[in-house]
């Protein structure tokens, strides 16, 4: 590398450190030391290897950079400033109310694809983006910067396995091995060989370098670009707080603004006004064809019995035929969830992530960042494995569609480990989420199609066993709606149900009506947002609501209903799964959990 370039890169890295110190000082908090360790790495990446058009962040040819160590946000913002994307004034708004420069990066900034800050998520999401790039046949690269501490997260190894096995050569992981975690030294310290052995075993190309040597960094980044059929990990030995004696390579200097920023800035060579000329790729239109054809959903004959998971699977296959941007992701249970129907029809757009639910959801997040419409499915119970990824997807304002099959005690004999009984609570609590729970196959098909247009995290809950088809094919079920299935002006109470309990509620209502007690029944297929108008009407006319759900009493359908009517003050009785189930037939399970028709009848009688 010519002396002139070396000088520039060193000066640029100095500026990045200085600006990291300055912005953190202005904020009074932040992570300057974790930024300083990675400054040389990022200076060389931006000056020599990144291909990105800051004026057109939507250029499909742009590379993607994920700061998995999101706490190093001062470095990222310093880079944005050097690239001319933000002003120095904005840089100094770091962590202040209303600033786009948050403590951890989020897509409120147009150059940030996904929010980070929960460690170990950047690589799995990057895997999804690299998969998307391959599907789109676009030449972009995905660069992920992570810390050494976060390599303890299992999700990193789910991603390492998937990327290595798929040979995602368009993916490069840069590990800032600064030896110091938050609390103290990491497990492996500066033993980059320990990490190299691990990634090597997972099929990665590995490079170990001095992360403060621009020449070595340049070589390693170039090597990554030239490596075929394998992802590359660059293991860069660095010093946390590099360049400032007060904090350099010292414990106890994590996550704090420097005590004496002025001295630090002077020690780092003072404020500079360098710019970095990031290589701008030619604008390239989206080459992947999204051929939209007419949507022909599957149709199920009312009166027959079909599982809602089947309605989902067949509708997804139909959706795949109508839209080229729909992709399906599986956690090695596609035969059970029925995503298999899509896999058979569109093998190129079907992705098997194996039993790795964090990577499953992360891949969906990565692919949606490239404009795809991902559906990721596994057992409802096992989506809990990806809770943190779902939470962060919401912070990323990502639009992903999750499908959880085998919901509730209704699965029967397999027992509690396989029962999704907490999924509604989990998904309802996610910011901006949509939660749907169909009771028949036509409704499941319609909602599956509906989900394609939903922004944010949406969730479809399906049932293992066959349930009666009660709706006609072609009926629409808008998000936020509900269906009144039984209603007379004489109703003395209203049963609110969804999914498998709708059929129990109908049977109970018929039995009660025959016994002279008319009650209404609402199918609350949209658990979030909830049909407040319909519930208000029921609450104000009958004044008595009975909610029935195949879910824990906390956070599910019952809570959605009580919340919707809480300011009106009707009486609400909640039937839900309160005990710890064992093995039994589906019918026995519903009875034991006291969410079957008999339990509903008794609850209504007790209430009245």
Place of tokens 């004696």: 245
CB of 14 to a second copy, least distance (A): 26
CB of 214 to a second copy, least distance (A): 29
Q: How many CB atoms lie within 10 A of CB 110?
A: 12
Site membership for a second copy, residue 428 (CB under 8 A): yes
Residue 100 vs 305, nearer CB to a second copy: 100
The whole-angstrom separation of Cα 486 and Cα 495 is 9
Known active-site residue 251: no
Among 295, 490, 533, 568, binds a second copy (CB under 8 A): 568
156-215: contacts with a second copy (CB under 8 A): 156-158, 161, 165, 181-183, 186-187, 197-198, 200-202
Site membership for a second copy, residue 352 (CB under 8 A): yes
Among 88, 413, 475, 602, binds a second copy (CB under 8 A): 413
Q: How many CB atoms lie within 10 A of CB 226?
A: 10
Site membership for a second copy, residue 582 (CB under 8 A): yes
For the packed helices 3-27 and 73-82, what is the interaxial angle rounded to 10 degrees?
120
- Tokens standing for residue 21: 């110190």
* Exposure of 76 in the CB half-sphere (CA atoms within 13 A): 31
Pick from 365, 342, 344, 361: nearest CA to 353: 361
Q: Are 480 and 526 in contact (CB under 8 A)?
A: yes
Q: Are 103 and 385 in contact (CB under 8 A)?
A: no
| Phi-psi map region of 32: left, alpha, beta (phi>0 left; psi -120 to 50 alpha) | alpha
The whole-angstrom separation of Cα 347 and Cα 331 is 15
CB of 416 to a second copy, least distance (A): 5
Q: Tell me, residue by residue from 485 to 524, as one string, x for binding to a second copy by CB under 8 A and - for no binding.
A: ----------------------------------------
Site membership for a second copy, residue 29 (CB under 8 A): yes
Residue 156 vs 470, nearer CB to a second copy: 156
92-111: contacts with a second copy (CB under 8 A): 94-99, 101-104, 106, 108
Site membership for a second copy, residue 155 (CB under 8 A): yes
* Helix (H) or strand (E) run with residue 587 in it: helix 586-592
Residue 290 vs 431, nearer CB to a second copy: 431
Site membership for a second copy, residue 391 (CB under 8 A): yes
Among 85, 91, 119, 457, binds a second copy (CB under 8 A): 119
Among 26, 135, 152, 345, binds a second copy (CB under 8 A): 152
Options 357, 422, 450, 549, the catalytic residue: 357
Site membership for a second copy, residue 555 (CB under 8 A): yes
Q: Are 420 and 289 in contact (CB under 8 A)?
A: no
Q: How many CB atoms lie within 10 A of CB 422?
A: 18
Q: Are 584 and 592 in contact (CB under 8 A)?
A: yes
267-326: contacts with a second copy (CB under 8 A): none
Among 241, 311, 520, 570, binds a second copy (CB under 8 A): 570
Residue 490 vs 568, nearer CB to a second copy: 568
The whole-angstrom separation of Cα 546 and Cα 520 is 10
Please list the active-site residues. 357
């Amino acid at each position: 590398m010519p002396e002139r370039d070396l000088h520039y890169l060193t000066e640029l890295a100095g500026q990045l450190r200085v600006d990291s110190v300055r912005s953190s000082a202005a904020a009074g908090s932040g992570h300057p030391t974790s930024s300083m360790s990675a400054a040389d790495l990022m200076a060389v990446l931006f000056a020599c290897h990144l291909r990105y058009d800051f004026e057109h962040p939507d250029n499909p040819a742009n590379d993607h950079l994920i700061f998995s160590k999101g706490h190093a946000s001062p470095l990222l913002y310093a880079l944005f400033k050097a690239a001319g994307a933000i002003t120095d004034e904005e840089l100094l708004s770091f962590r202040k109310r209303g600033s786009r420069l948050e403590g951890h990066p989020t897509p409120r900034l147009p150059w940030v694809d996904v929010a980070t800050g929960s460690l170990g998520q950047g690589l799995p999401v990057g895997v999804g983006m690299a998969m998307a790039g391959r599907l789109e046949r676009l030449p972009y690269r995905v660069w992920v910067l992570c810390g050494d501490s976060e390599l303890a997260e299992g999700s990193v190894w789910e991603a390492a396995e998937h990327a290595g096995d798929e040979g995602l050569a368009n993916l490069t992981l840069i590990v800032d091995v600064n030896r110091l975690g938050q609390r103290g030294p990491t497990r492996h310290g500066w033993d980059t060989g320990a990490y190299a052995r691990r990634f090597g075993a997972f099929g990665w190309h590995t490079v170990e370098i001095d992360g403060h040597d621009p020449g070595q960094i340049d070589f390693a980044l170039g090597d990554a670009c030239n490596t075929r059929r394998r992802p590359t990990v660059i293991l860069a030995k660095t010093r946390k707080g590099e360049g400032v004696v007060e904090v350099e390579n010292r414990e106890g200097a994590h996550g704090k603004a420097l005590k004496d920023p002025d001295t630090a800035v002077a020690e780092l060579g003072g404020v500079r006004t360098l710019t970095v000329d990031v290589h701008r790729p030619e604008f390239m239109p989206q080459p992947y064809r999204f051929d939209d054809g007419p949507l022909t959903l599957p149709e199920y004959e009312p009166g027959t019995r079909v599982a809602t998971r089947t309605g989902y699977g067949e509708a997804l296959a139909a959706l795949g035929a109508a839209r080229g941007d729909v992709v399906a992701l599986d956690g090695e249970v596609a035969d059970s969830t029925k995503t298999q129907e899509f896999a058979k029809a569109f093998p190129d757009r079907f992705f098997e992530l194996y039993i790795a639910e964090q990577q499953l959801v992360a891949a969906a997040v990565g692919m949606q960042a490239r404009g795809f419409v991902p559906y990721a499915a596994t057992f409802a119970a096992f989506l809990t494995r990806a809770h943190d990824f779902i939470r962060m997807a919401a912070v990323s304002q990502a639009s992903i569609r999750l499908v959880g099959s085998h919901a509730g005690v209704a699965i029967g004999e397999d027992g509690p480990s396989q029962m999704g009984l907490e999924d509604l609570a989990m998904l309802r609590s996610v910011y901006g989420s949509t939660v749907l729970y169909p009771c028949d196959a036509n409704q499941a098909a319609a909602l599956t199609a509906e989900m394609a247009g939903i922004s944010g995290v949406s969730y479809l809950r399906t049932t293992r066993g066959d349930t009666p088809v009660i709706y006609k094919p072609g009926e629409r079920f808008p998000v936020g709606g509900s269906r009144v299935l039984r209603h007379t002006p004489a109703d003395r109470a209203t049963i609110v149900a969804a999914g498998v309990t709708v059929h129990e509620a109908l049977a109970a209502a018929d039995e009660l009506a025959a016994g002279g007690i008319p009650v209404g029944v609402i199918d609350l297929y949209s658990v979030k947002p909830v049909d407040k108008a319909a519930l208000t009407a029921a609450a104000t006319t009958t004044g008595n609501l009975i909610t029935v759900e195949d879910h824990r009493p906390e956070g599910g359908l019952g809570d959605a209903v009580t919340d919707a009517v809480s300011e009106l003050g009707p009486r609400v009785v909640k039937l839900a799964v309160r005990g710890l189930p064992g093995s039994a037939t589906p019918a026995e399970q519903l009875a034991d959990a006291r969410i079957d028709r008999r339990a509903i009848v008794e609850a209504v009688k007790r209430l009245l």
